[in-house]
Amino acid sequence: MKESELKTHLQRLDLTPSRKLGQSFLVDENTSRWIAAQLEPGPDDIVVEVGPGFGALTAHLAGKVKKLTLIEKDGRLAKFLAEKYGPLGVEVIHADATEVDVRPFFREGPVKFIGNLPYSVGSEIMRIFLDAPSPISKAVIMLQKEVADRLCAKPRTKAYGMISLITQARWDVAEVKTVGPQLFHPRPAVDSTIIKMTPRAESALPRYSPEVFVQTVKQGFSQRRKQLHNNLPVDKDQWQTVCDDLGWKASVRAEELDLTDWVNLSNRLSPHPCHDLPPSATESLDVVDDQDNVIGQLPRQQIHAEKKLHRAVHVFLTNKKGDELYLQLRSAFKDAHPSKWDSSASGHVDPGESYEACGRRELWEEVWVKPKDDQFTRVLRLDASDQTDQEFIEVFQAEAQGKIRVHTSEIHSGRFFKIDEIEKWIDQRPQDFATGFMTCFREWRAQKCK
């Protein structure tokens, strides 16, 4: 869209660009086309665009992807976009992107994200859409250059800090182009940078607890001019041991450590219960008969390969209202159903262990939660079948209390979902879920609806 055309639209809509909303419209057609191309849009893609304005980027996406959803806060612009692009099948949502519930996007499948984000709320919009677990598989975002520099920063630079590390732990971030104010109307006071973001492979980092990592980074950068140990809850002897083990000087400062260093530090200072668990493939489990009687023990790997009957638990953590259920996204390192959505916690019953004791242990090991005795209830039992992965399963339910913390050796990430949304999601994309969870969830819902 040329600047003259933009001014005509502004005049027709009696719209003065709002500084409060961060409205600064891209008016260079070549740049708009180039930015849209960075998303590599294809006919099977689901795309969400935030802050479309008058559709500078939209014009190069509409009709080229399977589904395009625009989120626009300004009501006049939302109406304009709906009139112009609605006939092309484009969905327009009149909403503040900082208040959008992104959870329904999970049942759309992998989603691509694009946006010329307002400087005032760009970081918050990124948090809403990109914090793990995220439905976004790729993002092309235009931001204030200073913010983009911080997201992409390397150690020992002025821009490097907490935001750099927290973002880069989950995403590979690359600056692809910086553009000047002359490409916008009205002209902003600073340059803008387009960044490209793709999910970081889980294997790229040591296994760790993301929540513990974030806490450690925030503490470490609380006063960046100080030596790092002064910002952390460690005594002198403990700190010296950590530095000796990790090969650092005791006087190291926060900005000197790279991403892997920070992950290792978080593992040392506040290890998650999963941190020292032995590899699951080495476990020996009870083998049972069709009446759930123990008839022997075999290595877990052999049990799965030979489809022997065995025992497992699933735990459903709900919110206080009982209308949301916490789901875990299984780690890519898991030998069964890697990177699939599963129950709040789940796992095999150890030899000699009761189902209830296993449920409590798995809840502690996987999400670091210990429910009160009267708030941990068995709600369901299922016989072994193909639909349970040859497992006799007991399902327990508890109310989530305290902060949930996971570990990437078991869980990539997790979040609460509306129970009715989970039902729609399973119906629409069953391939996203572990088999046992779907069976447990359907039986649980059927029982609750009686």
395 in a structural domain: yes
Separation between Cα atoms, residue 214 and residue 232, nearest integer Å: 13
63 in a structural domain: yes
Q: Give me the CATH number covering residue 321.
A: 3.90.79.10
Q: Do 135 and 35 share a structural domain?
A: yes
Q: Do 386 and 342 share a structural domain?
A: yes
Q: Do 150 and 61 share a structural domain?
A: yes
412 in a structural domain: yes
Tokens of 176: 């692809």
Q: Do 225 and 292 share a structural domain?
A: no
419-428 and 435-448 are packed helices; what angle lies between their axes, rounded to 10 degrees?
130
Q: Do 102 and 37 share a structural domain?
A: yes
Q: Give me the CATH number covering residue 265.
A: 1.10.8.100
Helix ranges, 295-386 (H): 300-305, 355-367
CA count, 13 A, side-chain hemisphere, 164 = 24
Separation between Cα atoms, residue 48 and residue 316, nearest integer Å: 31
Q: Is 305 helix (H, G, I), strand (E, B) or coil?
A: helix
Domain that holds residue 236: 210-269
Is residue 91 within 8 Å of residue 78, measured between CB atoms?
no
The pLDDT tens digits of the residues spanning 41-99 come to 999 999 999 999 999 999 999 999 999 999 999 999 999 999 999 999 999 999 999 99
Which of 201, 221, 245 lies at the terminal end of a domain, its last residue? 201
Q: Do 161 and 76 share a structural domain?
A: yes
Q: Which of 215, 265, 219 is nearest to 239 (CA)?
A: 265
Strand bridging mode 136-144 / 67-72 = unpaired
Separation between Cα atoms, residue 208 and residue 412, nearest integer Å: 10
Integer angstrom CA distances of residue 349 from 155, 302, 362, 394: 44, 16, 9, 10
Tell me the average pLDDT across 245-260.
97
pLDDT score recorded for residue 280: 64
The strand pairing partners of 215, in sequence order, are none
The answer to whether the peptide bond before residue 186 is cis (omega within 30 degrees of 0) is: yes
**pLDDT bracket for residue 450 (50, 70, 90):** low
Q: Give me the CATH number covering residue 179.
A: 3.40.50.150
Tell me the average pLDDT across 130-145.
97
Q: Do 400 and 305 share a structural domain?
A: yes
The verdict on pTM exceeding 0.75 is yes
Amino acid of residue 168: Q
Q: Do 309 and 194 share a structural domain?
A: no
Of the listed ranges 2-11, 164-173, 301-310, the one predicted with least confidence? 2-11
277 in a structural domain: no
335 in a structural domain: yes
Separation between Cα atoms, residue 348 and residue 176, nearest integer Å: 46
Integer angstrom CA distances of residue 290 from 294, 380, 383, 385: 10, 18, 8, 10
pLDDT at 1 over 90: no
Q: Do 252 and 125 share a structural domain?
A: no
274 in a structural domain: no
Tell me the average pLDDT across 387-401.
96
Query: How many domains are there within the chain?
Result: 3
276 in a structural domain: no
Q: Do 317 and 229 share a structural domain?
A: no
Q: Do 197 and 216 share a structural domain?
A: no
The answer to whether the peptide bond before residue 133 is cis (omega within 30 degrees of 0) is: yes
262 in a structural domain: yes
Q: Which of 275, 393, 271 is nearest to 343 (CA)?
A: 393
The string of DSSP letters for 201-262 reads: PGGGS----HHHHHHHHHHHTTTTTSBGGGGSS--HHHHHHHHHHHT--TT-BGGG--HHHH
Q: Do 40 and 107 share a structural domain?
A: yes
pLDDT at 282 over 70: no
